[in-house]
Structure 1
Amino acid sequence: MFETLETEVTGRVASIKINRPKQLNALNTQVMEEVLAAASGFAASPDIGCLILKSGERAFAAGADIRELAVQDHASMRASNFFSGWDQFAALRIPKIAAVRGYALGGGCELAMMCDVILASENARFGQPELKIGCIPGIGGTQRLTRLVGRACAMDMILTGRMVGAEEALRIGLVSRVIADDQLEAVAHEVAATIAGYPGDIVQMARDCVNMAENSTLDSGIRHERQTYHALYGLPAQREGMAAFLEKRAPNFNGA
């Protein structure tokens, strides 16, 4: 079905793996369109509760495809609103996990940052080296990286173009866990299955509240969280979850 991707479904977890090994999974328009199509399909399915973006052997994605970019000019970039499909991917409300092995550079780092959780293998390398080719990040890198790691670290990475290893990425807040290379996919599936096991509507509420923190003042963010918290009372999942706690049993969210 897809020329640049491999997809798989295990239980309530779907996975997408970019498959352009000769190009180190460089992101071109076809990849963008196919990732968006696959992810949108999974997001629309009530049987899927979490999505994993998997890494190749050597790279998660080593950047945008320069061969495609080098022939563009201002008019063509503006007319096509180049990269806008990635905005649609980022906006999908399905929880997304990036399981990063090897290089996640430029657009690859930006793609990982569109996900809710970034899990890194010990050999993962992150960077925004666009200045080295006379460019700047264009898929949200200047914005998401600054929000994740702060102005000082973002300026350092973007203005020097240097790569950071997995342990430094963990220390500065770019990733949430560093995992042994041979355990990365297993842990990613375990995390995804945990998330997928919770009620989808409650997971989306939690995601929305966390994302609100990046785009609002503290007061308005807390107000949004409180309103959302009040609104979930009376939902089947809330009633089942609290009843199960009081009755000292595991909740049955599937029947809620």
Structure 2
Amino acid sequence: MAQVLVERPSGAIALVRLNRPEVRNALNLTIRQEMAAIFRDLADDTSLRCVVLTGNEQAFAAGADIADMSRIDAIEMYHRHTERLWAAVGECPVPVIAAVNGFALGGGLELAMHADIIVAGKSAQLGQPEVKVGIMPGAGGTQRLTRAVGKFRAMLMCLTGEIISAQEAFEMGLISRLVEDDAVLDTALKLAERIAALPPIAVAQIKEVILAGADAPLSTALALERKAVQVLFASRDKAEGMNAFLEKRKPTYTGE
């Protein structure tokens, strides 16, 4: 059976589901390869407007597969080039929403942080516990986490490996929206529907500028923002949105 499943709740939305429930969706090489292949295919789908990435009720992903990791050495780890597999998720051109229930630990939390929005259930547990097995976060956990919550909280989580509650993660800015456990996927899908109904070029430009600007000097990031706004003034969707607002009607966006 496939370790990653894909559904299309609508033509504009893809639901990508990790499917290793027997090991709480632990991320072995196969599941990462399947996920990367799916996201690469989705990137070429011009009808796609949003992706929801999830696991199951017990776990989003409980981390890397330790049994798999324990058998490999540094050279094999190098040759796997897993950074290319992760990049397929992080570089998805449309917004990605992580719908998190249960455990999001180690590589599971790193995977969630490759998304643009994180919706989590109140019982979810998050952490970077790699130090407890003699390694460290290696898929962005030291870097994305620091950018999300700041140096001192990231240091505490990575150096101790402690697991935090969804409430604590929400308070530190690591989670976008905190909901009841049984509402996680529905909330994520409704957010995806809202995004999918908006002008796709504007959505794409917002995502691109936020991500590119985060690592640029403020003056450079502001220049990127200005140029993106100027590009949008040439789109038909800009004219449609403003005319619809003035005419008090619902806009129809075409992505042009």
TM-score range, shorter chain: over 0.9
**Secondary structure in structure 2 of the residue aligned to 1:178:** strand
What CA RMSD, in Å, does the superposition of the two structures yield over aligned residues?
A: 1.3
Counterpart residue number, 1:75: 75
> Structure 1 pair 255/203, CA: closer, same or farther in 2 (3 Å)?
closer
Residue 195 of structure 2: SS of its match in structure 1? helix
For residues 8-157 of structure 1, what are the structure 2 equivalents within 5 Å?
Answer: 8-11=7-10, 12-157=12-157
| Distance of 2:143 and 2:65 partners within structure 1 | 21
Q: Which moved more, 1:65-74 or 1:127-136?
A: 65-74
Structure 1: gaps spanning 5 or more residues: none
Alignment partner, residue 204 of structure 1: 204
Distance 2:82 2:98 in 1: 23
Q: 4+ residue stretches of structure 1 with deviation over 3 A?
A: none
Question: Which piece of structure 1 moves more, 60-69 or 77-86?
Answer: 77-86
Which amino acid in structure 1 is aligned with residue 204 of structure 2? Q
* Distance of 1:80 and 1:121 partners within structure 2: 33
Give the residue type in structure 1 aligned to 2:84.
S
Deviation at 1:42, TM superposition (A): 2.2
Q: Distance in 1 between matches of 2:141 and 2:255?
A: 41
Task: Label 1:111 to 1:219 Cα distance change in 2 as closer, same or farther (>3 A).
Answer: same
Residue 3 of structure 1 pairs with residue 6 of structure 2? no
Distance 1:225 1:254 in 2: 22
Aligned equivalents of 1:60, 1:97: Cα separation in 2: 12
Residue identity matched to 1:143? Q
CA distance in 2, matches of 1:153, 1:19: 31
Residue 40 of structure 1 deviates from its aligned partner by: 2.1
Q: Which moved more, 1:3-12 or 1:172-181?
A: 3-12
TM-fit CA distance, 1:84? 2.8
Question: Could you list the per-position Cα deviations for residues 142-182 of structure 1 after superposition, in whole angstroms to 9, with x for gaps in the alignment?
Answer: 00000000001000100010111111111101001101111
Where does structure 2 lack aligned partners over 5 or more consecutive residues?
none
**Cα distance in 2 for residues equivalent to 1:34 and 1:198:** 29
How far apart in 1 are the matches of 2:227 and 2:43? 25
Aligned 1:218-233 pairs, distance under 5 A: 218-233=218-233
The offset of 1:255, in angstroms, is: 8.0
CA distance in 1, matches of 2:217, 2:105: 31
Identity %: 39
Q: Could you tell me how far 1:76 is from its partner in structure 2?
A: 1.5
Q: TM-score, normalised by structure 2?
A: 0.96
Task: Tell me which amino acid in the other structure corresponds to 1:181.
Answer: D
Cα distance in 2 for partners of 1:82, 1:37 equals: 13
